[in-house]
Amino acid sequence: MHRALTTLIFLLFSALLHAQTIPPLQYASLGDLKLENGAVIHDCKIGYRTVGTLNAAKSNAVLYPSWFTGKSGDIAMGLGPGKYVDTSKYFVIAVDSLSNGVSCSPSNSTTQHGTNFPQFSIRDMVYSEYRLVTETLHLQHLHAVMGISLGGVQTFQWMVSYPDFMDLAIPIVGTPQMSSYDLLLWNTELRALVSDPAYKNGKYTQTPPLSLVALIHNMNLATPDFRANHTTREGFQQYFDEIVTNGERFVDANDYLRQLQAILGHDIAHGSSLYDVANRVKAKVLIINASQDHMVNPLPPLGFAKLIHAQTLILDSDCGHMSPGCEMNKMEPIVQQFLAQP
């Protein structure tokens, strides 16, 4: 996992010194997954882990899709009794989103390997998760859907794709559609990735470090103040060299590309306006965003919150996109209280 997400995970879960054993990875076999663009992912399997116990009424299930290149094991690390998602009360389904290297991905497909793996959308991610929940876990309703970053993006899509399927939704540092600044960032990462000589048009034999992509990602993960306060001038060269050397080496480049392309195409309005889709939302919603987020601009989600009369929480530390970890003490009781609604 690349340095940026390793840092995010550390900040999110460093306090969990006595975290429970990570539950085993399971797979849901979906067969052929037809995508909205007409393409098909063959023999698609979705990875997931469950934490907690499903109650007799099957009314305490919480779906938790993974963040950008994140894994269900990363999510499970932060779950447990008394935590912000209390697994003594909820049955949490941590999902490996499409193309994260665990679920069906360019890196692990035998028949559609690498660039032969079809491009998909956030709606396709959500559809695959819906099939997991209904066909494999045999659930017809969820208490909540929630997620961080790309998981928050998927949560917004869940709210309009399957509006009757959950009681609550908690998108955290996610967005209903890309702002112009978001598009600038992700298109720049895309340009840096495909133009990297080591990428070799996706035909590499060893995944490249994607050093420039990693530098761009790290510049936007937090804020200038955060970086200046956490990396000294004297320590900068070591910090910089580690990013250049390690980069995204532990993330397959084609996996990264397909998730990145899904982010770039994300828009829950699907070409219309957010006003049009606001009326489709039926869940109670808590939208959590960071005021200094340089990776997911908070203006679209906070504007959408007004349209659907959602509860909001603004995190304002200089951690930027990593604010959920930095401000867990602020976020935790509010999430717990929101989830406790019947």
Q: Tell me the sheet residues that pair with 94.
A: 49, 64
Whether the pLDDT of residue 18 is over 90: the answer is: no
User: Average of pLDDT values for 8-37?
Assistant: 74
Mean pLDDT over 108-121 rounds to 97
CA separation for the pair 178, 285 (Å, rounded):
19
Could you tell me which of 91, 173, 132 has the C-alpha nearest to residue 339? 91
Question: 3-class SS at 197?
Answer: helix
- pLDDT of res. 201: 96
Average pLDDT, the chain: 93
With bands split at pLDDT 50, 70 and 90, how would you rate the model's confidence at 15? Answer: very low
Q: How many whole angstroms separate alpha carbon 321 and alpha carbon 319?
A: 6
Confidence of residue 19 (pLDDT cuts 50, 70, 90): very low
User: Region 58-80: what's the mean pLDDT?
Assistant: 95
Per-residue confidence at 7, pLDDT binned at 50, 70, 90?
very low
pLDDT at 193: 97
**All domains of the chain in start order, with CATH:** 3-182+257-339 (3.40.50.1820)
Task: Give the chain's length.
Answer: 342
What is the pLDDT averaged over residues 8-18? Answer: 44
Whose CA is closest to 170, among 286, 71, 253?
286
Q: How would residue 63 be classed by pLDDT, with cut points 50, 70 and 90?
A: very high
**Crossing angle between the packed helical segments 253-264 and 180-194, to the nearest 10 degrees:** 150
pTM of the model: 0.94
Contact by Cβ (8 Å): 123, 161: yes
Element (H, E) at 65: strand 61-65
Per-residue 3-state assignment (H helix, E strand, C coil) for 251-266: CCHHHHHHHHHHHHCC
Joined together, the tokens standing for residue 181 give 């600044």
The torsion angles phi and psi of 165, rounded to 5 degrees, stand at -85, -15
In this prediction, residues 181-188 reach a mean pLDDT of: 98
Q: What is the pLDDT of residue 246?
A: 80
Q: Mean pLDDT, to the nearest integer, of 21-26?
A: 92
For residue 58, what are the CA distances in angstroms to 44, 51, 122, 192? 26, 14, 27, 46
Q: Rounded to the nearest 10 degrees, how much is the dihedral formed by the CA atoms of 195, 197, 199, 205?
A: 170
Rg of the chain on CA atoms, in Å:
19
Would you say residue 10 has pLDDT above 80?
Answer: no
CA 75 vs. chain centroid, Å, equals: 10
Indicate the pairing of strand 91-95 with strand 40-51: antiparallel
Q: Summarize pLDDT for 83-107 with one digit per residue, the tens.
A: 999 999 999 999 999 999 999 999 9
Does 233 have pLDDT greater than 80? yes
Q: Mind listing the pLDDT tens digit for each residue in 28-53? A: 999 999 999 999 999 999 999 999 99
The sheet that has 142-148: what strands, in order across it?
26-34, 40-51, 91-95, 61-65, 142-148, 166-172, 284-290, 311-315
Torsion of CA 166, 170, 176, 179, to 10 degrees: 180
Q: DSSP letters along 264-282, please?
A: HT-BTTTTS-HHHHHTT--
- Ramachandran quadrant class, 271 (left: phi over 0; alpha: psi -120 to 50; beta: rest): left
Residue with the two structure tokens 């099957």: 58
* Residue 326, pLDDT score: 96
